[in-house]
């Protein structure tokens, strides 16, 4: 309930939980608003479906996980202690059926004796195959937290980058002080805090310096142009070189996001960092310590001071340290009925206006859906107290997680019974305040100042003076108490339902290492990653194994510190953000002609251009092939890489990167080039044209355009920096079209301002031309095997030229052709693509061994290795079917006609196959052991995947026009 006159804001906010309407106030979290409405039961536990209530007031909350929203936008496992309320907020409890109040699977709790640590490893051993089919689905249904909707998330997230001199993580007393010192001194500061209101524990204090002091500092920080405040931003990970990941909850608190992203994932690069993440209070394990109403003392204090909420009418406090006394006094001062303070320590001087039990422990909690009473074990016996809220403090654990993200291990500090960061674990980051084990306000303030001053010194800046407020003298005294011995189950990890018994059992079954115990019991493996349970669990393990706590050690903290939605981490990397689309200049025209597009890397190219009468792609493809063979076809080949190479040493560079020679190429001529990798295998192929004495244009395959460009730069910059040559990719600057077929010259001469003939433009000629007044380049090269040209114009003329070429081709009985026909044409001619030069083929394998010229070139030496010149290697051949089965398929394997189709009998494999309308039969390209000597042999092709078994004749790879007569003339 809310104490009159206290709490955040005044504006009422209406929200619902499990369909019931409630009223909260602006500034409430869902947890504080539910507690203000006296809602104690908010969820069911992971495994046993135990009733659970709000336990903390911060991001470490293990119990109060809810689903926010409905349908595709529903977000499961939202911590009610983090979620701000807004008008119309809809929250739903999780892991219960049919309702939170009456949950059928609460039966699991009765079966608890059979469901202890590792029960599924022992129970579900057989029969074989039942784990996947029966047990796992059943267990997954029975246990768990919230569930995703399974539908695409409609809202978007973003990612962003930020840079600063100093990143301050956490805006409590230490962080505010550090940011103020650095901000006043002129450093670029980012102050990030996961809360929506900055101030940290100062907001949960009853006395100054508290909320007002924090507000004053924040006002000054806001006025400084060099300081950026990032509330609602959790720094989730520390990475190399001062890089930090951070998740900002941008609009999750707004009724109307108004276009804002849900979340933003930040990469923050900081020259220096101060970790001021504070500390998390840890519970004490005792029987039924998970009953709704048993809460952390720090949470009760925060709800009292920050939200004006007391989560019960009869409150008791149970602790092992001085903090518990402060809380009890503050509750009394606020008029709350404090039943008493139970201190496990004996040597405590009672003070304050409340009853104190010393040397006493709480050994049981009663009530199922709501705490009704507790049992105390005093030095003289047991006592039962009627309470509906128990505030527990087992001490504090510094939030040192980020200091472990680069492999650092924390150190045990005995006087505070807690792990503290190892200095220097993250280069450039210094911990200050409670996360460094400084548990008094005065120490937090002075450590914050010192950390900022050290950072400024490292940055070469002079710190400006900052006066710190007077902090009351205080000491932090604690006597460790991890668990209260006794019967029944005492909870350690609330989120994964791990008890003291489970940890003891793990130790008994010899899972004695903390890492083994963790995996066997699932301790600390829930979304909260054991924030308030890991240290207790390893203390219990230490006790069970007879080791010390530092000897037991901690498990490894890894990023993220708290859950980060994949949608935020991957923001911008879906759809086109993941794979941008590259369109050729003819794209619109091709789509307009009804061509289905096929992806070629990021490019989109037309597969075929269907006529209205055609219902199958093969009809279109066969027609297009015939068109090129008999009339003229047009194909956009702009996606091939084009590299402009200029300089006195351009030819020398080409001689080095190509296996064959280019320095002998005459101006105005084109030559086919074969490029090797340094290990001697084929890298790429293409044609290179010599436009001038010192000017070449190289083409690459579409797929290798990037790698070849990188390779040329490598050879030039790294291997031959003395060569005077420059190069640049011009792939996107030129639109280039193949004009192929016996009527290609007739078509071009209708377009060119000066006609060409075989004398001015023989096969493999190139030069500048003018097409309808536009300066263009013409290359007489052919991938189809026909009399063919490629014409290139500046990209801005591409679409117009394509449309003109297609219209004229149609007038001559031809038209546009796509990738399918292009593929058939080249298979008929035995021309290779990356299906053949797939990275494991040598020049010799594809019949080009003699192209390696007697000069230094990349890959020449390695190509001479015995393994690459072995006569038994698989060599490229053609195949045609000669048996009953006429289908040949790429990927099929080859065997001797009489051999069983087993791996050990493999003779080779098929790389490309098509139906050749020109030859009226299926044709394939394949690699076959000693293939060149086996033309005419019969061989068996088996496609084990598709179940095809065909007898083939081995042929020359060039199936059509082997003399090349059609190219010339």
Please, which residues bridge with residue 382 across strands? 377
- Helices marked H in 66-206: 107-110, 119-123, 130, 136-142, 173-184
Least separation in angstroms between CB 241 and other proteins:
6
Q: Which is nearer to other proteins, 862 or 951 (CB)?
A: 862
For the segment 415-444, give every residue that binds other proteins (CB under 8 A): 427
C-alpha 645/C-alpha 713 separation (Å) is 11
Stretch that binds other proteins, among 351-359, 460-468, 524-532, 711-719 (CB under 8 A): 711-719
Q: Which residues contact 452 (CB under 8 A, 6 or more apart)?
A: 166, 168, 177, 178, 179, 180, 181, 182, 185, 274, 463
Stretch that binds other proteins, among 208-216, 559-567, 717-725, 895-903 (CB under 8 A): 717-725
Among 566, 573, 861, 902, binds other proteins (CB under 8 A): 861
Q: Which residues contact 247 (CB under 8 A, 6 or more apart)?
A: 233, 234, 236, 263, 264, 265, 266, 560, 562, 564, 568
C-alpha 309/C-alpha 57 separation (Å) is 11
Q: Which is nearer to other proteins, 428 or 891 (CB)?
A: 428
C-alpha 87/C-alpha 762 separation (Å) is 79
For the segment 384-413, give every residue that binds other proteins (CB under 8 A): 406
Q: Chain-centre distance of CA 533, in angstroms? A: 28
Q: Which is nearer to other proteins, 466 or 675 (CB)?
A: 675
Residue 240 in contact with other proteins, rule: CB under 8 A: yes
Least separation in angstroms between CB 864 and other proteins:
5
For the chain, what is the total number of helices (H) and then of strands (E)?
25, 48
Among 112, 224, 334, 719, binds other proteins (CB under 8 A): 719
Least separation in angstroms between CB 240 and other proteins:
4
Residue 241 in contact with other proteins, rule: CB under 8 A: yes
Q: Which residues contact 872 (CB under 8 A, 6 or more apart)?
A: 929, 930
C-alpha 388/C-alpha 312 separation (Å) is 5
Stretch that binds other proteins, among 367-375, 437-445, 517-525, 716-724 (CB under 8 A): 716-724
Tell me phi and psi for residue 521, to 5 degrees. Answer: -95, -15
C-alpha 347/C-alpha 407 separation (Å) is 40
Residue 120 in contact with other proteins, rule: CB under 8 A: no
Stretch that binds other proteins, among 219-227, 643-651, 708-716, 801-809 (CB under 8 A): 708-716
As given in the structure block, the two tokens for residue 394 are: 């087992």
- Rounded to 5°, the CA angle 932-937-939 comes to 105
3-state secondary structure of 851: helix
Residue 588 in contact with other proteins, rule: CB under 8 A: no
Among 322, 509, 678, 896, binds other proteins (CB under 8 A): 678
Among 38, 87, 679, 921, binds other proteins (CB under 8 A): 679
For the segment 56-115, give every residue that binds other proteins (CB under 8 A): none
As given in the structure block, the two tokens for residue 52 are: 């659970």
Among 346, 840, 865, 944, binds other proteins (CB under 8 A): 865
Residue 646 in contact with other proteins, rule: CB under 8 A: no
Q: Which is nearer to other proteins, 412 or 714 (CB)?
A: 714
Q: Which is nearer to other proteins, 150 or 407 (CB)?
A: 407
> With contact defined as beta carbons under 8 Å apart, do 244 and 237 qualify?
yes
Residue 243 in contact with other proteins, rule: CB under 8 A: yes
Q: Which is nearer to other proteins, 99 or 717 (CB)?
A: 717
How would DSSP label each residue in 817-829?
--HHHHHHHHHHH
Q: Which is nearer to other proteins, 130 or 163 (CB)?
A: 163
> With contact defined as beta carbons under 8 Å apart, do 66 and 94 qualify?
yes
Residue 269 in contact with other proteins, rule: CB under 8 A: yes
Residue 717 in contact with other proteins, rule: CB under 8 A: yes
Least separation in angstroms between CB 944 and other proteins:
33
C-alpha 210/C-alpha 518 separation (Å) is 39
Q: Which is nearer to other proteins, 427 or 472 (CB)?
A: 427
Q: Which is nearer to other proteins, 196 or 714 (CB)?
A: 714
3-state secondary structure of 345: coil
Q: Which is nearer to other proteins, 4 or 718 (CB)?
A: 718
Q: Which is nearer to other proteins, 12 or 427 (CB)?
A: 427
For the segment 720-779, give every residue that binds other proteins (CB under 8 A): 721
Least separation in angstroms between CB 267 and other proteins:
9
Least separation in angstroms between CB 860 and other proteins:
9
C-alpha 61/C-alpha 40 separation (Å) is 14
Residue 864 in contact with other proteins, rule: CB under 8 A: yes
Least separation in angstroms between CB 407 and other proteins:
10
Residue 714 in contact with other proteins, rule: CB under 8 A: yes
Residue 710 in contact with other proteins, rule: CB under 8 A: yes
Q: Which is nearer to other proteins, 692 or 706 (CB)?
A: 706
Give the other-Cβ count within 10 Å of 570's Cβ: 14
Tell me phi and psi for residue 45, to 5 degrees. Answer: -80, 165
C-alpha 384/C-alpha 342 separation (Å) is 12
Among 415, 581, 713, 870, binds other proteins (CB under 8 A): 713
Least separation in angstroms between CB 833 and other proteins:
24
Least separation in angstroms between CB 657 and other proteins:
13
Q: Which is nearer to other proteins, 703 or 862 (CB)?
A: 862
Q: Which is nearer to other proteins, 654 or 926 (CB)?
A: 654
Least separation in angstroms between CB 225 and other proteins:
24
Characterize the bridge pairing of strands 89-92 and 12-17: parallel
Q: Which is nearer to other proteins, 717 or 758 (CB)?
A: 717
CA nearest neighbour of 486 among 340, 293, 343, 289: 289
Q: Which is nearer to other proteins, 373 or 719 (CB)?
A: 719
Least separation in angstroms between CB 731 and other proteins:
15
Least separation in angstroms between CB 719 and other proteins:
6
Stretch that binds other proteins, among 627-635, 685-693, 709-717, 957-965 (CB under 8 A): 709-717
Least separation in angstroms between CB 567 and other proteins:
20
3-state secondary structure of 870: coil
Least separation in angstroms between CB 239 and other proteins:
8
- Helices marked H in 162-319: 173-184, 211-223, 297-307
Whole-angstrom distance between the N-terminal and C-terminal Cα of the chain? 97
Stretch that binds other proteins, among 238-246, 573-581, 686-694, 769-777 (CB under 8 A): 238-246
| Count of residues engaged in binding other proteins, rule: CB under 8 A | 19
CA nearest neighbour of 896 among 908, 910, 888, 911: 908
Least separation in angstroms between CB 720 and other proteins:
10
Least separation in angstroms between CB 713 and other proteins:
6
Least separation in angstroms between CB 727 and other proteins:
10
C-alpha 524/C-alpha 399 separation (Å) is 15
Angle between helices 500-508 and 534-545 (to 10 degrees): 40
CA nearest neighbour of 609 among 617, 186, 601: 617
Radius of gyration of the chain (CA): 38
C-alpha 337/C-alpha 313 separation (Å) is 6
Edge to edge, the sheet with strand 597-600 lists 582-583, 603-606, 597-600
C-alpha 919/C-alpha 888 separation (Å) is 15
Binding site for other proteins (CB under 8 A): 240-241, 243, 269, 406, 427, 678-679, 710, 713-714, 717-719, 721, 861-862, 864-865
């Amino acid at each position: 309930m809310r104490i009159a006159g206290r709490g955040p804001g005044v504006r009422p906010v209406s929200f619902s939980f499990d369909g019931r309407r409630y009223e909260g106030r602006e500034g409430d979290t869902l947890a504080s608003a539910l507690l203000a409405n006296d809602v104690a039961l908010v969820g069911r536990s992971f495994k046993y479906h135990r009733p659970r209530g709000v336990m903390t007031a911060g991001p470490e909350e293990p119990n109060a996980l809810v689903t926010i929203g409905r349908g595709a936008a529903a977000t499961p496992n939202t911590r009610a202690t983090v979620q701000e309320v807004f008008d119309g907020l809809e929250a739903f409890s999780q892991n219960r059926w049919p309702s939170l109040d009456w949950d059928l699977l609460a039966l699991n709790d009765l079966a608890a004796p059979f469901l202890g640590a590792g029960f599924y490893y022992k129970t579900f051993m057989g029969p074989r195959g039942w784990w996947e089919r029966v047990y796992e689905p059943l267990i997954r249904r029975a246990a768990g937290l919230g569930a995703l909707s399974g539908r695409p998330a409609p809202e978007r997230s973003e990612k962003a980058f930020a840079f600063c001199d100093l990143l301050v993580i956490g805006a409590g007393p230490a962080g505010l002080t550090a940011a103020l010192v650095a901000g006043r001194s002129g450093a670029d500061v980012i102050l990030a805090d996961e809360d929506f209101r900055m101030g940290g524990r100062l907001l949960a204090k009853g006395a100054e310096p508290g909320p007002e002091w924090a507000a004053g500092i924040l006002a000054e920080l806001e006025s400084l142009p060099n300081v950026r405040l990032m509330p609602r931003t959790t720094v989730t990970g520390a990475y190399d070189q001062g890089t930090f990941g951070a998740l900002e909850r941008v609009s999750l608190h707004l009724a109307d996001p108004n276009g804002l992203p849900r979340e933003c994932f930040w990469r923050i690069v900081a020259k220096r960092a101060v970790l001021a993440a504070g500390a998390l209070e840890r519970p004490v394990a005792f029987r039924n310590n998970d009953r709704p109403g048993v809460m952390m003392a720090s949470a009760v204090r925060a709800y009292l001071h920050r939200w004006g909420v007391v989560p019960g009418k009869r409150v008791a406090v149970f602790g092992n340290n001085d903090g518990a006394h402060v809380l009890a006094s503050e509750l009394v001062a606020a008029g709350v009925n404090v039943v008493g303070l139970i201190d496990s320590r004996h040597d405590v001087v009672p003070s304050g206006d409340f009853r104190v039990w010393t040397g006493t422990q709480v050994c049981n909690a009663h009530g199922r859906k709501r705490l009704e009473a507790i049992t105390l074990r005093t030095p003289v016996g047991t006592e039962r107290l009627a309470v509906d809220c128990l505030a527990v403090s087992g001490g504090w654990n510094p939030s040192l997680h980020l200091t472990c993200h680069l492999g650092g291990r924390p150190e045990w500090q005995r006087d505070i019974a807690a792990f503290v960061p190892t200095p220097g674990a993250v280069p450039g980051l210094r911990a200050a305040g409670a996360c460094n084990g400084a548990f008094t306000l005065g120490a937090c303030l002075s450590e914050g100042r010192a950390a900022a001053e050290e950072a400024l010194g490292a940055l070469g800046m002079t710190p400006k003076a900052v006066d710190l407020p007077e902090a009351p003298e205080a000491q932090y005294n604690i006597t460790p108490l991890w668990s209260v011995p006794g019967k029944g189950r005492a909870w350690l990890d609330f989120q994964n339902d791990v008890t003291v018994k489970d940890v003891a059992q793990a130790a008994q079954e010899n899972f004695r290492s903390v890492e083994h115990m963790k995996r066997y019991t699932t301790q600390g493996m829930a979304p909260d990653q054991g924030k308030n349970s890991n240290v207790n669990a390893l203390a219990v393990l230490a006790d069970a194994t007879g080791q010390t706590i530092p000897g037991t050690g901690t498990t490894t903290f890894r990023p993220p510190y708290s859950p980060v939605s994949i949608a935020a981490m991957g923001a911008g990397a879906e759809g086109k953000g993941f794979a941008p689309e590259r369109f050729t200049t003819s794209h619109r025209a091709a789509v307009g002609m009804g061509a289905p597009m096929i992806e070629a890397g990021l490019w989109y190219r037309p597969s075929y251009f269907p006529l209205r009468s055609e219902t199958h792609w093969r009809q279109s493809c066969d027609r297009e092939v015939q068109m090129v063979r008999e009339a003229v076809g047009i194909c956009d080949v702009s996606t091939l890489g084009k590299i402009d190479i200029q300089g006195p040493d351009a030819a020398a560079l080409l001689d080095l990167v190509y296996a064959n020679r280019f320095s002998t190429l005459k101006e105005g001529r084109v030559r086919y080039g074969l490029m090797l990798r340094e290990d001697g295998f084929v890298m790429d192929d293409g044609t290179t044209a010599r436009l001038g004495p010192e000017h070449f244009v190289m083409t690459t395959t579409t797929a290798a355009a990037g790698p070849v460009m990188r390779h040329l730069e490598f050879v030039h910059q790294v291997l031959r920096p003395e060569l005077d040559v420059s190069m640049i990719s011009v792939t996107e600057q030129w639109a280039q079209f193949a004009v192929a077929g016996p009527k290609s010259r007739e078509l071009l001469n209708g377009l060119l301002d000066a006609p060409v003939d075989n004398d001015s433009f023989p096969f493999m000629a190139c030069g500048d031309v003018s097409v309808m007044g536009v300066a263009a380049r013409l290359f007489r090269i052919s991938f189809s095997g026909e009399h063919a040209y490629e014409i290139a114009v500046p990209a801005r003329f591409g679409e117009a030229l394509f449309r003109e070429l297609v219209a004229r081709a149609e007038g001559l009985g031809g038209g546009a052709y796509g990738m399918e026909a292009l593929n058939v044409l080249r298979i008929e001619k035995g021309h290779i693509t990356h299906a053949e030069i797939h990275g494991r083929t040598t020049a010799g394998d594809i019949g080009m061994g003699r192209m390696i010229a007697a000069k230094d070139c990349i890959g020449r030496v390695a190509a001479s290795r015995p393994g690459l010149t072995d006569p038994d290697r698989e060599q490229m051949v053609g195949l045609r079917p000669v048996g009953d089965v006429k289908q040949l398929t790429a990927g099929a394997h080859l065997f001797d006609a009489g051999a069983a189709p087993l791996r050990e009998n493999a003779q080779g494999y098929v790389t490309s196959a098509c139906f050749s309308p020109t030859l009226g039969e299926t044709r394939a390209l394949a690699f076959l052991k000693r293939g060149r000597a086996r033309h005419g042999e019969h061989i068996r092709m088996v496609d084990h995947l598709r179940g095809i078994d065909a007898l083939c004749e081995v042929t020359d790879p060039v199936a059509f026009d082997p003399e090349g007569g059609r190219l010339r003339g």
